[in-house]
A and B are shown apart, each in its own frame.
Chain A
Amino acid sequence: MTVVRLRRVRGGIAAKDWPRWGAELLELLVRLADPEVTGPAAERIYPMPTADLAESAEWRRNVHPELFSLVSSARDIVATDFSKSDRGARGEIRELVIPDAHRAAWISALQVARLRLASEYSLDAGTMRAPPDELPDALRGPVEIVDFYGWMQEMLLAADGEDADGGAAGAGEPEAAGDAAKGRRRKSGGSPAGKKQAPKQNPGSTSPKRQRKPSRKRRPGRGDGGAADPGSA
Chain B
Amino acid sequence: MTRDDAGPAEPGGATETLTDERTALARPWKVIVHDDPITLMSYVVMVFRKVFGYAEPRARELMMEVHVKGRSIVWTGAREQAEMYAQKLHGHQLLASIERDAS
Interface residue A230 (Cβ < 8 Å from any Cβ of B): yes
The answer to whether residues A50 and B41 also contact, given A157-B46, A231-B67, A233-B63 and a CB cut-off of 8 A, is no
A-B contact pairs, 9 of them (CB 8 A): A47-B95, A49-B96, A63-B87, A63-B90, A108-B92, A228-B42, A231-B41, A232-B35, A233-B63
State which residues 35-72 of B face A: CB under 8 Å.
35-44, 46, 60, 63-64, 66-67
Supposing A45-B93, A67-B91, A111-B92 touch, asked if A221 and B40 sit within 8 A by C-beta, the answer is yes
Q: Is there contact, CB below 8 Å, between B92 and A229?
A: no
Asked if A93 CB lies within 8 Å of chain B CBs, one says no
Check B99 against A157 for contact (C-beta < 8 Å).
no
The answer to whether the Cβ of A194 comes within 8 Å of any Cβ in the partner chain is no
Contact A67 B38 (CB under 8 A): no
The tally of residues in B whose CB lies under 8 Å from a CB in A reads 28
CB distance from B62 to the nearest CB of A (A): 9
B residues within 8 A CB of A47? Answer: 90, 95-96
A contacts with B: majority SS: helix
Interface residues contributed by chain A, number (CB under 8 Å):
38
The residues of B that contact A157 with a CB separation of less than 8 Å are 40, 42-43, 46
Q: Is A123 an interface residue (CB 8 A)?
A: yes
**B97 proximity list for chain A (CB < 8 A):** 48-50
A118 proximity list for chain B (CB < 8 A): 36-38
Does B73 reach chain A (CB closer than 8 Å)? Answer: no
| Complex Cα spacing A107 to B47, Å | 11
Q: Does A66 contact B (CB under 8 A)?
A: yes
Let me know if A46 is at the binding interface, CB within 8 A.
yes
- Contact partner of B38 (CB less than 8 A), chosen from A46, A228, A232, is A232
Closest chain-A Cβ to B100's Cβ sits at a distance in Å of 10
* Contact assessment for B40 and A230 in the assembled complex, using a CB-CB cutoff below 8 Å: yes
What is the CA–CA distance of A36 and B71 in the complex, to the nearest angstrom?
Answer: 28
B residues near A, CB below 8 A? 35-44, 46, 60, 63-64, 66-67, 83, 86-87, 90-93, 95-99
Known: A47-B96, A49-B97, A227-B64. A154 touches B42 (CB 8 A): yes
A70 interface contact, C-beta 8 A: yes
Q: Is A233 a contact partner of B66 (Cβ separation < 8 A)?
A: yes
- Interface pair B38/A49, CB less than 8 Å apart: no
A232 touches B83 (CB 8 A): no
Bound-state CA distance A112–B90 (Å) is 11
Given contact pairs A111-B39, A221-B40, enumerate 18 new A-B contacts (beta carbons under 8 Å). A49-B90, A49-B96, A66-B87, A67-B91, A107-B46, A111-B92, A111-B93, A112-B93, A115-B93, A157-B43, A157-B46, A158-B42, A230-B42, A231-B41, A231-B67, A232-B39, A233-B36, A233-B67
Contact B41 A230 (CB under 8 A): yes
